[in-house]
């Protein structure tokens, strides 16, 4: 029997790519926010009862990290209560759930890459809300997988990659934070490896729980910005910037604190799922290839 898949967040960076990558795996429904609002338990219940998915893939989230500091109730409703409701429905209806989470569940103080079972300790409202969602999915009793990723960007959408490409066109000098380290991860890559994982259920036993999935390697935001600009210049794209200065986090104050170390240990991804993560530089080049027609057209 064909699996019925409900994919949330279809307009987001990851959701848009998942909508393509999961096409072959079942009959898919990708409801708009108006039909399936994570802040409205009634609208979620109605859609779940009508569509009766065998698999819920939750790529929707409240992702405005800084705004969450002043909207904690909404962040918690969307990132905590909604995954709880979806996973609860899955448990009662013999369905499974794949849920996405973040490196921001950690405090970033570790001197090495974070493993799946390392102690969490979010330092922002967003991180705390995502951790609440993780716990609810884990404790729901449903077959589940929680995929934690980091520093997500896509060829489409608002993200660091597009911001740097724009600023590099407009300004001669950029100041970019150099004391936060992570692995910039392409949403297209994450969607594709998610499809490989989702193609092999069940999400039970050793194939359940938390999984770290991100690009291989690590870099600071400053290093990532330099790589973007270097490649844009090499491709002949408009670049005005001459100096990219490294600055400390304290030089770019934001409402929400961010982990200094966002690097995720990727051992389990290879060991259990046989997936070798692509280095972040290769993922960046692939994303730039997709952007190229709009830059060069």
Ligand X SMILES: NC(=O)c1ccc[n+]([C@@H]2O[C@H](COP(=O)([O-])OP(=O)(O)OC[C@H]3O[C@@H](n4cnc5c(N)ncnc54)[C@H](OP(=O)(O)O)[C@@H]3O)[C@@H](O)[C@H]2O)c1
- The yes or no reply on residue 102 touching ligand X (CB under 6 A) is yes
Instruction: Give 212's strand partners.
Output: 148
Choose, by CB under 6 A, the member of 4, 29, 33, 171 that binds ligand X.
33
State the number of binding residues for ligand X (CB under 6 A): 26
**Residues near 270 by beta carbon (within 8 Å), at least 6 away in sequence:** 276, 277
- Cis preceding-peptide flag for 202 (omega within 30 of 0): yes
- Which residue in the shown chain puts its C-beta closest to ligand X? 12
- Between 59 and 287, CB nearer to ligand X: 59
Q: Looking at beta carbons only, is 236 or 287 nearer to ligand X?
A: 287
- List C-alpha distances in Å: 279 to 164, 219, 266: 20, 11, 12
Q: Does the protein bind ligand X through residue 63 (CB under 6 A)? A: yes
Selecting among 62, 100, 126, 153, the annotated active-site residue is 126
| One residue of 3, 4, 25, 39 binding ligand X per CB under 6 A | 39
Is 263 among the residues that bind ligand X (CB under 6 A)? no
Which residues 6+ apart lie within 8 Å of 256 measured at CB?
65, 66, 68, 69, 124, 125, 126
CA distance 233 to 132: 43
Q: Check residue 62 for interaction with ligand X (CB under 6 A).
A: yes
Tokens (6 digits) for 60: 């929707």
153 catalytic, yes or no?
no
Task: Say which residues have a Cβ less than 8 Å from residue 45's Cβ, sequence separation at least 6.
Answer: 85, 89
Based on the shown chain and the rule CB under 6 A, indicate whether residue 83 belongs to the binding site for ligand X.
Answer: no
Task: Catalog residues that contact ligand X under the rule CB under 6 A.
Answer: 8-9, 11-15, 33, 37-39, 59-63, 78, 100, 102, 130, 149-152, 157, 187
Catalytic positions are: 126
């Amino acid at each position: 029997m064909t699996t019925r898949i409900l994919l949330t967040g279809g307009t987001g960076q990851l959701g848009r790519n998942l909508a393509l990558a999961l096409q072959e795996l079942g009959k898919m429904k990708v409801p708009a926010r108006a039909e399936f609002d994570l802040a409205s338990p009634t609208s979620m219940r109605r859609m779940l009862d009508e569509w009766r998915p065998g698999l819920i893939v939750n790529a929707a989230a409240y992702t405005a990290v800084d705004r969450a500091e002043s909207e904690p109730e909404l962040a918690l409703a969307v990132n905590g209560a909604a995954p709880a409701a979806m996973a609860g429905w899955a448990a009662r209806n013999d369905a499974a759930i794949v849920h996405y989470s973040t490196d921001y569940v950690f405090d970033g103080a570790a001197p090495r890459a974070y493993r799946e079972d390392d102690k969490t300790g979010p330092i922002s409202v967003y991180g705390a809300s995502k951790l609440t969602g993780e716990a609810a999915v884990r404790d729901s009793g449903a077959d589940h997988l929680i995929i934690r990723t980091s520093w997500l960007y896509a060829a489409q959408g608002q993200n660091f990659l597009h911001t740097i490409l724009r600023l590099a066109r407009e300004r001669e000098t950029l100041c970019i934070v150099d004391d936060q380290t992570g692995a910039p991860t392409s949403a297209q890559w994450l969607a594709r490896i998610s499809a490989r994982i989702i193609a092999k259920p069940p999400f039970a036993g050793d194939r359940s729980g938390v999984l770290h999935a991100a690009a291989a390697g690590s870099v600071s935001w400053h290093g990532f910005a330099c790589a973007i600009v270097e490649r844009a210049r090499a491709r002949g794209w408009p670049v005005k910037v001459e100096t990219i200065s490294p600055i400390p986090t304290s030089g770019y104050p934001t409402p929400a604190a961010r982990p200094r170390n966002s690097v995720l240990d990727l051992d389990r991804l290879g060991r259990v799922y046989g997936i070798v993560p692509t280095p972040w530089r290769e993922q960046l080049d692939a994303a730039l290839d997709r952007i190229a027609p709009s830059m060069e057209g």
